[in-house]
Structure 1
């Protein structure tokens, strides 16, 4: 496990693998990594916003549960981003096929399901206020 983490943070370790690729491929990989980081930060900001601005929900501690879920999901996206960046950079340098990932689909389904659950909670809250 620590070997994988070292590969994430040690540029010399990665540069010793394979051959130097066309810089445009490395820069594209870096842009993708940064986009994933922005997604993670947005989820973390959403979690903080839920705690600060969402009114009390009809289910006790639902607001806090939503916030914690968003915070954890944002952290998972950030960790997954650095792992995917390192694996992709390694594949580019070795001339191998890029690593496949189910993570974007899982993330999309999780966010979609979360939106449906939130919609239900908001509607229940609106009905309960009448």
Structure 2
């Protein structure tokens, strides 16, 4: 397959082929973020659907935060994958990812909401 016909072309049309191990590691990282997104969405749905004996407003907020985080994660993971692959192809330093800090805040906020839901019920 020629370099001009690979998707996304904006990534594969620049630089040269990096060592396959690095590209495959980048892909594994992307897939790990996808699994994380699925877990966040499943956790948010489960929290709300199970109807646990928690304060309903806090429970709903925690559920929504998990689902929104789960929906945003694949988008951010795709952007990170493209930036990393492009940097590998151009032999440039890798940029940092915003996924870790964003999900850290989201999960900590969710935990705080669930804790408050438990204490206020």
Q: By the TM > 0.5 criterion, same fold?
A: yes
In 1, the alpha carbon distance for the partners of 2:11 and 2:99 equals 23
In 2, the alpha carbon distance for the partners of 1:89 and 1:46 equals 30
Question: In the alignment, which residue of structure 2 is the partner of 1:42?
Answer: 39
Calculate the TM-score normalised by the size of structure 1.
Answer: 0.79
1:117 correspondence with 2:113:
yes
1:16 correspondence with 2:9:
no
Contact preservation (8 Å) 1:17, 1:93: yes
Contact preservation (8 Å) 1:47, 1:71: yes
In 2, the alpha carbon distance for the partners of 1:123 and 1:64 equals 15
In 2, the alpha carbon distance for the partners of 1:73 and 1:109 equals 10
Gaps of 5+ in 1: 1-8, 126-130
1:103 correspondence with 2:99:
yes
Query: Offset of 1:117 from its aligned partner?
Result: 2.5
Calculate the TM-score normalised by the size of structure 2.
Answer: 0.84
Misfit runs of 4+, over 6 Å: none
Gaps of 5+ in 2: 1-5
Flag the 1:94–1:20 CA change in 2: closer, same or farther, 3 A.
same
Query: Offset of 1:100 from its aligned partner?
Result: 1.5
Q: CA RMSD in A?
A: 1.8
1:1-130 aligned at under 5 Å gives the runs: 10-58=7-55, 60-125=56-121
